[in-house]
Structure 1
């Protein structure tokens, strides 16, 4: 199994767990005299089995991510952290640019005038740079995921 396939399976297990949780909650309490739509014992057993499978799969993925390296020698696990940091910084800067571009509405000259304390042009340039860096790293990670065996 390729790493990319394992990542898809992980997402499937996570979705299944969420679904099982909702189904368990829906069948947890019923009106006296009624019967549940689904057997909560069976659902609970399925949830536990799915969670065990997910746990084992995540361990294998983590081991693979620590073992495999990108072209620059960085372990995949480090590159994933770096990719997340790029995305987080980009989101924060984009929020700043959005706020800086908001219109201030003043009815009269006596109302408080707001000024922007950071250069929107420089922030936007940094966002563009982070976006490019993120795309390049993500592309390399995605490519590696389809070539590496779990």
Structure 2
């Protein structure tokens, strides 16, 4: 099985656990004289089985990610960490640019000349350019990660 297939299975198992959790909670109590639409104990047991499978899958994915070399990016785990931090960095820079530009500041513009003028403490065009460069780097790292996911076999 390729790593990408395992990642898809992990996502599906995670969705399944959430669906089962919702069904367990919805059937955990019922009114006297009624019967629940589903057996909560059976659903809970099924959830446990899916979680056990999910844990084993996550362990294999993590083991694979830690051993797969990505050249200058280090291991696949290193590349994933890089992508996560780039996303956070992009988020901070974008938020700073938006705040400096006054985006979302309805009603805070000057209405009269006697009101104080709001000034930007940060260079908005430079921040926007930096955010664009970060977005490009995120895409490039993500493409390398995705490519490797389809090339690498999942470890046992």
TM-score (norm 1): 0.95
1:74-100 CA-to-partner distances (Å, cap 9, x unmatched) read 011111011010011111211222222
- What is the aligned partner in structure 2 of residue 40 from structure 1? 40
SS in 2 for 1:72: helix
Q: Tell me the distance in 2 between the aligned counterparts of 1:135 and 1:26.
A: 41
Closer/same/farther in 2, CA of residues 118 and 73 from structure 1, 3 Å limit? closer
Residue 144 of structure 1 pairs with residue 153 of structure 2: no
SS in 1 for 2:34: coil
- What is the aligned partner in structure 2 of residue 119 from structure 1? 123
Between 1:5-14 and 1:122-131, the stretch displaced more is 122-131
- What is the aligned partner in structure 1 of residue 50 from structure 2? 50
- What is the aligned partner in structure 2 of residue 133 from structure 1? 137
CA drift of 1:69 comes to: 1.1
Please say if residues 24 and 40 of structure 2, whose CA atoms lie closer than 8 Å, have aligned partners that are also in contact.
Answer: yes
CA drift of 1:39 comes to: 0.6
Between 1:61-70 and 1:108-117, the stretch displaced more is 108-117
Gaps of 5+ in 2: none
- What is the aligned partner in structure 2 of residue 93 from structure 1? 93
Gaps of 5+ in 1: none
Closer/same/farther in 2, CA of residues 80 and 94 from structure 1, 3 Å limit? same
Q: How many residues were matched structurally? A: 150
Q: Tell me the distance in 2 between the aligned counterparts of 1:10 and 1:65.
A: 14
CA drift of 1:71 comes to: 2.5
Q: Tell me the distance in 2 between the aligned counterparts of 1:69 and 1:23.
A: 41
